[in-house]
Amino acid sequence: LDSGVKLVRNVGRYNIGASSLGELHGLLARLRTEASQKGEPAYAIFLVDRYFKPDSTTGDRLAFRSGDALKFIDTTDEPTTDEIDSLVAALLQEGYTKPVAVVGMGGGITMDTAKAVSNLLTNGGKAAQYQGWDLVKLPGIFKVGIPTISGTGAEATRTCVMTNPASGLKLGMNSDFTVFDHVIMDPELTATVPRDQYFYTGMDAYIHCIEALAGSYRNAIGDAYSRETINLCRQVFLEDDMQTPANRERLMVASYLGGCAIATSYVGLVHPLSAGLSVVLGVHHCVGNCIVMRAMADYYPAAYDEFWQMAERQRVSVPEGICRNLDDATYKALYDASTMHQKPLTNALGENYKAILTLEKVTDLFRKM
Ligand code: NAD
Ligand code: ZN
């Protein structure tokens, strides 16, 4: 791991609080006016989680104007580089080449899609070209992120996770240019999230931070963000009802701070194993992390106990037994897809992590899930 001081870029501006979605109107009006004054087109692109589609008021709430593009994002599967490329191609073909903003409203899938589309509209080429670190050369289109479910921290980070179907590589565009220019955090938007999903995604914030604090790659700011994220998660998930208005606001803050924490640090063992589940079995990121927690008693003992206490308190069930009876080839594929994540595994277990995570050991961990 790089031992020096990590350079960190934060979100440009943000609004936080109930009804802050209304701030989008003024923000877009300013961007549209600036563009018009320069003689440039004043349309915006809206990428919205398809959950909001049947709600005919979505357009009004989003300051949508005729001439804007509104696309609903399917969340059945996590984003692939091919899907991002098709979306960009469709937008370009419809003439949306130079919008004033790309607004992404939804969960991690939709926000990551918005980040990637924004970068590709100015940088050109294909999504897969930018999977890695600091490969994006130009600032993207002005990016606005509006989370509607809390936990991943995608609203705060400098990446947008995508899977390349050809290579199986699950990696984002890690770049300063991937950070949102403006984030609107309105806890009213998370009222409709189904309970199980609310828990799975919320626990991503908790897991990011227990992994960061247990790692060897640490810094004072990251630690402070992580500690407060964990505090907020305890308040939310050890209370009777995790989804009260006050708890939805707490979790929205935890998600943002957890994203800031992980942007200055690395995850640990949970995320690589969860990435294995995702690449090999198509399990979504957040529920995948929760499944991995079944096997974490020896690695994160205190967090393991607390995690299951929270799940019990919220009466949420985490899928079980999904890797119990797989064939050897599938265990090998899970092993390969997990142990390739060198940075977080070095952070968690040291340089010689491969000596600890043998095929036998990793197979054993997956069998526990
Ligand atoms: P998601 O986008 O996967 O959505 C989860 C489900 O919740 C979907 O069915 C969605 O339609 C629904 N939903 C969202 N908001 C809702 C609302 N207000 N009411 C009802 N339903 C709602 O959500 P997620 O768990 O936030 O995101 C997971 C994705 O985030 C993965 O693709 C993962 O790779 C990515 N991720 C990104 C980062 C990053 O830093 N960029 C970090 C962690 C995870
Ligand atoms: Zn995560």
Q: What is the pLDDT of residues 328-359, one digit of tens each?
A: 999 999 999 999 999 999 999 999 999 999 99
Query: pLDDT tens-digit profile of 286-319?
Result: 999 999 999 999 999 999 999 999 999 999 999 9
Confidence class for position 57, pLDDT limits 50, 70, 90: confident
* 59: confidence class by pLDDT, cuts 50, 70, 90: confident
pLDDT > 90 in the chain, percent: 92
Q: Across residues 74-93, what is the average pLDDT?
A: 97
Among 3.30.1360.30, 2.30.31.20, 3.40.50.450, 1.20.1090.10, name the CATH number for the domain at 195-368: 1.20.1090.10
With bands split at pLDDT 50, 70 and 90, how would you rate the model's confidence at 5? low
- How would residue 122 be classed by pLDDT, with cut points 50, 70 and 90? very high
What CATH number should be reported for the domain whose range is 13-190?
3.40.50.1970
Residue nearest to atom 20 of ligand 1 (CA): 193
Would you say the CB of residue 148 lies under 6 angstroms from ligand 1? yes
Smallest-distance ligand from the CA of 153: 1
Categorize the per-residue pLDDT at 169 as very low, low, confident or very high, splitting at 50, 70 and 90: confident
Q: What is the pLDDT of residue 1?
A: 53
Residue 285 confidence (pLDDT): 97
Q: Which atom of ligand 1 is nearest to the CA of 107?
A: 2
278 lines ligand 1 (CB under 6 A): no
pLDDT band at 2 (very low <50, low <70, confident <90, very high): low
Residue 4: pLDDT above 70? no
The verdict on the CB of residue 49 being under 6 Å from ligand 1 is: yes
Domains 13-190 and 195-368 share a fold: no
What ranges do the domains of the chain cover? Answer: 13-190, 195-368
Across the range 53-72, mean pLDDT stands at: 87
Question: Measured from the CA of 150, which atom of ligand 1 is nearest?
Answer: 26
Give pLDDT, residue 103.
98
pLDDT at 54: 80
Mutate to test the pocket of ligand 1, among 78, 109, 175 (most ligand atoms within 8 A of CB): 109
Best residue among 58, 78, 149 to mutate for probing ligand 1's pocket (most ligand atoms within 8 Å of CB) is: 149
- Indicate whether 222 pLDDT > 80: yes
> Ligand 1 centre from 149 Cα, in Å?
7
Is the minimum distance from the CB of 271 to ligand 1 under 6 angstroms? no
3-state secondary structure the chain: CCCCCCCCCCCCEEEECCCHHHHHHHHHHHHHHHHHHCCCCCCCEEEEEHHHCCCCCHHHHCCCCCCCEEEEECCCCCCEHHHHHHHHHHHHHCCCCCCCCEEEEECHHHHHHHHHHHHHHHHCCCHHHHCEECCCCCCCCCEEEEECCCCCCCCCCCCCEEECCCCCCEEEEECHHHCCCEEEECHHHHCCCCHHHHHHHHHHHHHHHHHHHHCCCCCHHHHHHHHHHHHHHHHHHCCCCCCCHHHHHHHHHHHHHHHHHHHCCCCCCHHHHHHHHHHHHCCCHHHHHHHHHHHCCCCCHHHHHHHHHHHHHCCCCCCCCCCCCCCHHHHHHHHHHHHCCHHHHHHHHCCCHHHHCCHHHHHHHHHHC
Provide the pLDDT confidence category of residue 6 given band limits of 50, 70 and 90: low
Q: Which of 152, 162, 189 to mutate to test the pocket of ligand 1 (most atoms within 8 A of CB)?
A: 152
Tell whether the model's pLDDT for residue 196 goes beyond 70. Answer: yes
Q: From the CB of 181, is ligand 1 less than 6 Å away?
A: no
pLDDT digits (tens, 9 = 90+) for 89-106: 999 999 999 999 999 999
Q: What is the mean pLDDT of residues 233-261?
A: 98
Lowest mean pLDDT among 139-148, 165-174, 243-252, 267-276: 165-174
Question: Residues with Cβ within 5 Å of ion ligand 2?
Answer: 204
Mean pLDDT of the chain: 95
Residue 55 has pLDDT above 80, yes or no: no
